[in-house]
Amino acid sequence: SDEVILVGRSNVGKSTIMRELTGHSFETGGKPGVTRSPNHYDWSGDDFMITDLPGFGFMSGVPDDVREQIKTDIVRYIEEYADNILAGVLVLDGKSAVDIIDRHSGEDEIPHDVEMFHFLRDVGVPTVVAVNKMDKVDDEDERLNDICDRLGLYPPWKQWQDTIAPITAKRGSIGPMEEAIRGHLEDAKRDDLK
Ligand code: GDP
């Protein structure tokens, strides 16, 4: 059935966001890499599911081959269900995302976040980039412009409010993300009627 998926590196705040969206409690700050299989939940009041996919990228104590397998599983899941995925939420840690992306940008290296963003687009999943932990970011506009730049979206970020959603999940401040998701869901409904 129809679903919205949440993807992101481990520790970016996916469990915290899931808690805010569903009202269920999820273990936050738990052992990285524990969420290995997709978790499905009803989105309060609506007739679709929200699916939390495992965190990808570096996790201390998790071997490289396991990390690779997790990422492969995520990609396969998205490819398999792309037709039912109404929106994808790529969660970033606003405090560290740009540094991590820059550290992993090279001739033959594409940072996970950038790769995932382009992959979602390639398979036709409308994407919201939830830039979390904005409470830890001082230069908000500059940071969001940098994120746009790294994702190949022409700054300023305010042009991309259907895509870039600054949030502080820990304080329950996720309005811009919910609005951006709802925007994509309405687009999907409109396309259905055509
Ligand atoms: P997950 O691994 O992506 O599921 O991340 P969690 O939801 O477990 O969060 C990882 C850590 O980030 C926890 O210590 C959270 O309390 C913290 N965290 C989540 N959201 C925010 C936020 O908006 N601001 C700050 N400062 N910390 C957050």
163-183 residue pLDDT tens: 999 999 999 999 999 999 999
Distance 68 CA to ligand 1 centre (A): 23
Which tens digit of pLDDT belongs to each residue from 43-102? 766 678 999 999 988 788 888 899 899 999 999 999 999 999 999 999 999 999 999 999
Distance 21 CA to ligand 1 centre (A): 14
Position in ligand 1 atom list of the atom nearest CA 27: 8
Ligand 1 binding site (Cβ under 6 Å of any ligand atom)? 8, 10-16, 28-29, 55, 132-133, 135-136, 168-170
Cα 61 from Cα 33, distance rounded (Å): 9
Cα 135 from Cα 50, distance rounded (Å): 25
pLDDT at 116 over 80: yes
Give the pLDDT score at 44: 62
Residue-range domains of the chain with CATH: 3-193 (3.40.50.300)
Q: From edge to edge, which strands make up the β-sheet containing 39-42?
A: 39-42, 49-52, 3-8, 85-93, 127-132, 164-166
Nearest to 81 by CA among 48, 103, 105: 48
Residue 39 confidence class, pLDDT cut points 50, 70, 90: confident
- Which of 11, 67, 91, 131 for mutating ligand 1's site (highest number of atoms within 8 Å of CB)? 11
Give the pLDDT score at 188: 84
Position in ligand 1 atom list of the atom nearest CA 18: 7
Cα 129 from Cα 18, distance rounded (Å): 15
C-alpha distance from residue 84 to each of 49, 98, 105, 172 (Å): 10, 31, 32, 28
pLDDT at 35 over 70: no
44 near 56, Cβ under 8 Å? no
Distance 71 CA to ligand 1 centre (A): 20
Distance 132 CA to ligand 1 centre (A): 8
Position in ligand 1 atom list of the atom nearest CA 10: 2
Position in ligand 1 atom list of the atom nearest CA 11: 2
- Say if the ipTM goes beyond 0.95: yes
pLDDT above 90 coverage of the chain, percent: 69
